Chains A and B, each alone.
Chain A
Amino acid sequence: MPMQHVDGKNEGKIVLYALSTCGWCRKTRMLLEDLNLEYDYIYVDLLEGDEKNEIIEQVKKWNSQLSFPTIVINDEKTIVGFDEEGIKGLPG
C-alpha cells in the first residue's frame, strides 16, 4: 500500500486519507507538520484500479460519507475534515 511516511514525534498511529487537490487537506498536512507529528498519508485521488477501490472501502469504514480529509488515530478514532482543535488535541 503506497502510504507516504512523514517523520516527527510519535503520538500514536496517525493515518491521513486525503486528496492531492483539496485545500483543507493541504491545511491538515501543514498543521500536522507544524505540530511535528509522525504520520502516514495517502492521496486517494492519485490511486487507480483495485488499489483505489481497496482504499475507498477502508475510508468508508471510518467515514461512510467518504469525505476528505479523514484522519484515523490508533485504528480507533476518526477526525473528519480540517478540525484544527481536534488535530491539536492529538492523540487525545
Chain B
Amino acid sequence: MNKLPISDFVVSDGEVNQYYIKLKKQVESSGYHLNPDVEFTKSLLKSIILNDKRYGYESCPCRLAGNDKAEDLDIICPCYYRDPDLDDYGTCYCGLYISSEIFNGKKKLKPIPERRPSPEDREKLKMESTTGILSSSSIPVWRCKVCGYLCARDEPPEICPICTAEKERFEQFN
C-alpha cells in the first residue's frame, strides 16, 4: 500500500475524461444513465478514481470508506443500493446514476435518504447472515419476455441490459 497521507493523492483531468468516456459508453449500453450535468458527474468520477488510489477499490464518493474492501463491498460503485434507489427515487445516493425520467427532465433530481444500514445495523446483519445462503423465495426472479434474460432482484431493471426492452416487458419467473 502507498504510504502517502490520505490528502496527497491526485487525479488528473486526463484520467477523469478517459474514465468518463469509458463508463458512459458502458452505462448507456446496459440501459442506465449517468447524470447529464457533466461537471457534477466528472467531479464524482474524479472522487471514485481518487478513492481507488486511496483504498484500492472504487468506493462510493458520498459515503465514508472504511479502508477495508471486505467491509465495503456494498459501496463499491455501482453500489448494492443503486438499483433500489433508482426504483424508489430515480437516482442513486450520489446523483451519479439517474432514471430516464430525470434524464429526460420530467422529474427534478433531489438528494435522497441513505439506504445503507448504519454501522451498528451492519454488524447485526453480519451476525444474522453467517451462512450466506439466500432463501430462494426471498428475492423475486424476473424474465425479459423479449430475450429471456433472467435477474433476481426486487424489481426488473428499467431497461433490459441485454436487449434494451423496457421494464413493463418483464414477467415474474418464480
Interface residues of A (CB under 8 A from B): 19-26, 44-48, 56, 60, 64-68, 81-83
Taking residues whose C-beta sits less than 8 angstroms from the other chain, chain B's interface range is: 20 to 34
How many A-B pairs have beta carbons closer than 8 Å: the answer is: 60
Q: Chain B residues near A24: list those with CB within 8 A.
A: 62, 94-95, 111
Tell me, rounded to whole Å, the shortest Cβ–Cβ distance linking A34 to chain B. Answer: 17
Q: What A residues does B40 contact at CB under 8 A?
A: 23
Interface, chain B (partner A; CB < 8 A): 5-7, 40, 43-44, 47, 50-51, 61-65, 94-96, 111, 113-114, 116-120
Q: Could you tell me the distance in whole angstroms from the C-beta of A3 to the nearest C-beta in chain B?
A: 15
Taking chain A's interface residues, is the majority helix, strand, or loop, or is none over half, making it mixed? Answer: loop
Q: Is the CB of A67 within 8 A of B5?
A: no
Closest chain A residue to B5 by CB distance?
A: A48
Interface hub of A22, A47, A64, A82 (most chain B Cβ within 10 A): A22
Q: How far is the CB of A87 from chain B (nearest CB, A)?
A: 11
User: By CB atoms of chain B within 10 A, which of A21, A64, A66 has the most?
Assistant: A21
Contact B119 A22 (CB under 8 A): no
* Cβ contact of B114, chosen from A21, A67, A83, cutoff 8 A: A67
**Smallest CB gap from B96: residue in A:** A23
What are 12 A-B contacts with C-beta separation under 8 Å? A20-B7, A21-B50, A21-B51, A23-B61, A24-B95, A44-B64, A45-B65, A56-B64, A65-B118, A67-B116, A68-B63, A68-B64
